[in-house]
A and B are shown apart, each in its own frame.
Chain A
Amino acid sequence: MADATEPTDVRASTDEVLAAAAARSAADLLVAYEATFRRHPGLSHLGPLAAHHAQHVEAFAQQPVANGRGARVPRSPRDALSALAAAESGIRERRVAAARAATSGALARALASAAACQSQHLVLLRPGRP
C-alpha cells in the first residue's frame, strides 16, 4: 500500500490516510460486534463477521490502531442487528468512495473487496436470517 518512507509524496500520504481510516473503521466495527455479543449472546453466531473486521484491521493498519469506539447496544436483538447493519452500511459507503479515490491500485482493490465483504454482511444481518 502507501509507502510510509516518502511522507513528502502527497499522493502517497493520501493513500495512507485512506488506509488508516479503513483500519480505524474496521476496529470500530469489531468493537460494535463484540459489545453486541456480550449483550445478546444469542447473536454470537455472527462471530465470523466480526472476524472479518479483525482481518480488515490487520490488512489496512500501517501502525497500531487504537481500540475501536463502542456504541450503545440496543436492548432488543432485532434492534441490535439493525444497529450493526446501519454501522456496516455507513462504513461500506465510505470504503466505496475511498476505493474510487485511492491512487494505488492495490489499495483500491483491498478497499473495494472489504466493501464487498460488508455487502455480504448486510445480507446476513437482514432480519429473519437464521
Chain B
Amino acid sequence: MTGSPGEAAAQATLAGEHAAVYAYGVVGGVVDPSGALGGLARAGYGAHVNRRDRLERSLRALDVEPVAAEPGYALPRPVTTEADAARLIRRVEDRCAVLHAALVAASTGELRGEAVGWLSDAATRGLAWGAPPAAFPGVGPT
C-alpha cells in the first residue's frame, strides 16, 4: 500500500489519533476523576492510544514511517470546565469519525475491517459526550 490512497488515509487517521490522545490528556486534567466523565476520559484515552499504536504497527509492517505527533497542539478554545471538555471531545470524535470513514473507503481487507469498527467507536464515544446521533456519522451532515 506504499504511496497508495490507503497509506495516505492511514497516515491521516494516525495524525488524528495523535491529536485525540493529546485532547484526552487535556480533558483528563479537567474532569472530575471520580465522576462519569472521568471514566469516559480514561476509557477514551486508552482506546485512542491503542489505535495509535495499532496504526503505527500497520504502517511499519509496510516499511512506511508513521507520522509522528506534533510537538504541540493548539486547542480551539480554552478547556477549563467539564462543558469545555465535552465540547472538545465531541469535536475530536467527530473528526476521528470522518478520518475513519475515509480510511474505510480507501483501504481493503483487515485494515478496512478495523476502520469499520473504529467508525462505530468514534460515533458512540461522541454520543456519550453529548453529541446528537446522526444518520451517517463521519460522512454526511447530521
Contact = CB atoms under 8 A, between A and B. Distances in A.
A: interface residue count bin: 20 to 34
A59 interface: yes
Contacts of A124: 127, 133
B1 interface: no
A116 B122 contact: yes
A113 B127 contact: no
Contacts of B137: 113, 116-117, 120
Contacts, number: 85
B135 A100 contact: no
Interface residues of chain B: helix, strand, loop or mixed (majority):
helix
B113 A55 contact: no
A127 to B, nearest CB: 17
A115 B116 contact: yes
A110 B106 contact: no
Contact of B104 (A48, A112, A121, A123): A112
B139 to A, nearest CB: 4
6 contacts: A52-B134, A99-B112, A113-B137, A114-B135, A120-B127, A120-B137
